[in-house]
Structure 1
Amino acid sequence: MRYTELREKEVVSVCDGRFLGYISDLEIEECDLKITVLFVRQPPKGIHKYFPWLFQEPEIAIAVKRIEQIGKDVILVVEANS
């Protein structure tokens, strides 16, 4: 699966069903070239939408082992580590 395909998927928590955001970056292990962490950022809302450079939303780091399932449109995660 390509990074561009991952970026289009919504990340949702299985525990409470809330929308966490979209994948903004990846952390890759140098030796094995495997993805270890997904960084998720929520889309800006309200005034943040019009001035995104002023208000940076914090990213949520999610370990790959926390991924429950990757579907066609959504990635389900067990728990988000911030």
Structure 2
Amino acid sequence: MIKISEFQVKDVVNVSNGRKLGHIADLEINLGTGKIEAIVIPGAGRMMGFMRKENDIIIPWRDIVKIGKDVILVRFEDHAENQLSPQGFHNSSKS
């Protein structure tokens, strides 16, 4: 078993590009089944759980590839990262 507090200190990393997405801030739990449906990673500009919830990253439980000692590997496609700018360059404003 694992505690929520242990979840929150692990880095969440996207296996498709190796990018660190952040740390888990919240969980979505199905009250009927008691199962975790998704993990929530705060979006850019969100501090201490406040502001800008629309930028949160929601990872469905089925997209978690592996939970390791220090890291959680997930499968996540960042659509904003894949969009082209009007000049034809990839949007690289995210780090």
TM-score (ref. length: structure 1): 0.78
Q: Say which one has the larger Rg.
A: 2
Give the strand-richer structure, 1 or 2: 1
Residue in 2 aligned with 1:73?
70
The one-letter code of the counterpart of 2:70 is D
Unaligned runs of 5+ in 2: 80-95
The one-letter code of the counterpart of 2:69 is K
Deviates more, 1:56-65 or 1:8-17: 56-65
Identity fraction in percent: 36
Where relative contact order (Cα < 8 A, 6+ residues apart) is larger, the structure is 1
What is the Cα deviation at residue 32 of structure 1? 1.2
Residue 16 of structure 2 contacts residue 77 of structure 2 at CA under 8 Å; is this kept in 1? no
Aligned-CA RMSD value:
2.6
Residue 60 of structure 1 contacts residue 81 of structure 1 at CA under 8 Å; is this kept in 2? no
TM-score (ref. length: structure 2): 0.68
Residue in 1 aligned with 2:89?
none
Residue in 2 aligned with 1:59?
56
Residue 69 of structure 1 contacts residue 76 of structure 1 at CA under 8 Å; is this kept in 2? yes
Residue 11 of structure 1 contacts residue 75 of structure 1 at CA under 8 Å; is this kept in 2? yes
Unaligned runs of 5+ in 1: none
Structure-2 change in CA distance of 1:29 and 1:10 (3 Å): same
How many residue pairs match? The answer is 76
